[in-house]
Structure 1
Amino acid sequence: MKATLFLLLLLCGFRLSAQEKPIPKPEYVIIANDKIITMKEVEDYGKRDYVKSMSKGVSEEMRNELAKKFGEKIGEKEFIIIIDLFTEKEHAERLAQASTAPIDTSSKKNPVDEFKLKVGDTAKDVAIEMVDGKGFNLSDLKGKVVLLNFWATWCAPCLMEFTEIPEKILVPFKNQEFIFVPISIGESKEVVLKKMDDLKKYGAHFNSGIDPEKKIWNQYATKSIPKSCIIDKKGVVRYLSVGNAEGNVDKLAVEIKKLLKE
């Protein structure tokens, strides 16, 4: 009896240990001048105006070529950032041009202006097809706070956001009147299913909608992703978010919590 009890406790202990083990998160791998550099180095290049261009994500073929050189630490293709730097000559020429160029005093456009809806508008009622085959209309969710999120499988900031959402939003609001509706834009069901399966290793165990012809997207927003729209229980847009800057998911959680109390 004691041996059986000990064995049960031991098994439970193993189970608990496995659950408490932190889920690994993806990290960006940044390459400039044909070498891997740190984010601090990127910031330094940026401050000195040496960054010519930056691209997030590479093809699978390029990722495999980079892996031959740098090893498997190169990671997944979506999280590779390639930075092109100005040469010393190009940099000197830019400085000379900047000293004689007129100062641009025009105001920068607010990223939230990329939405076709504004805070206070009634959310567009759209039919949403999920990758698991289920479907519903957005209006069916009245009575719940809805986090509508637009993403794509090739969008690294979108995928990074997905690794934070379970811990910061899905778990805290699990038993409340809340639902998360991510919608992949411009991609087939097969592509989205494969990526959702890949994301499980980062703790992203949730369903996703698909919008292969961008019919939903075209009613809500334009330009960059990720974009998030929080809709209250009455179906009214209450918060809009663009990108995945540090702390962005925390802000979404704060807004959701406010609306759940109303």
Structure 2
Amino acid sequence: MTGHPAPAPSLLGVFAHPDDESLLAGGVLARHAAAGAHTAVVTATWAPDSHRAPELAEALGILGAGTPRMLGYADARVPGSAPGRARLLDAPLDEVVARLVRHVRELRADVVVTHDGYGQLTGHPDHVRTHRATLLAVHAAGLEHLHPEAGEPWQPGALYLATHPHSGVGELGALLRGVGKTVLSVPDEHVTATVDVRPWLDRKWSAIAAHRSEAKRERPLPGLLSRLPAEDRDRILATEWYTRLTPRPAPGREDALTA
């Protein structure tokens, strides 16, 4: 007798800027939503009344990831992104963690996805800060005496870091170097999930293109991709790479530390 396939796990993405969700995990978000899983995205920077908020809403609608959840901190490099609000880099880390814990507990997602430790290829400081805050929040969300005001404890089963291995940089690295950007990648053995997202590529690209203000600019990745032939662009976007971390304690008991 053939068993039914396991349902896709619910998914929460935590990213620094509007467009990061589409560029880094758009295929996975669309894939899980298409399988009937609940998906959502928290965005750390830009104000909910900024011009990028409706672009984010459109992108999330395309990906099936609900409505925007924007923390509203200012982008490190764009002070006008959240007038009167602290930059994400300047906000107390515990404050950011507590706000993320609330979202994790409210959504009760099986899997959380965020930036890797480098802050992706370009090492943007907002990406790095979001990575660090998310790691702390995923751990804290499962502990009842941490941030009790943020709701009942919930421990996601896995945390995945969106990343790029050395072997996967290729044409994308050349694009970024061409506009003077840093290219940071991880050893191939750090990648634990390589996801072919070609079946969801149309949705992923439509979501990226929904960030019109970035697609019109010269140096941001949506703009670089929009000027490529579709075949080249699709080849760059067809694969997503992730590193899995397991925040839940492993089952069983040990009497020594093991690697």
Short-chain TM bin: under 0.3
**TM-score, reference length from structure 2:** 0.21
- Say which one has the larger Rg: 1
**TM-score, reference length from structure 1:** 0.21
Higher strand share: 1
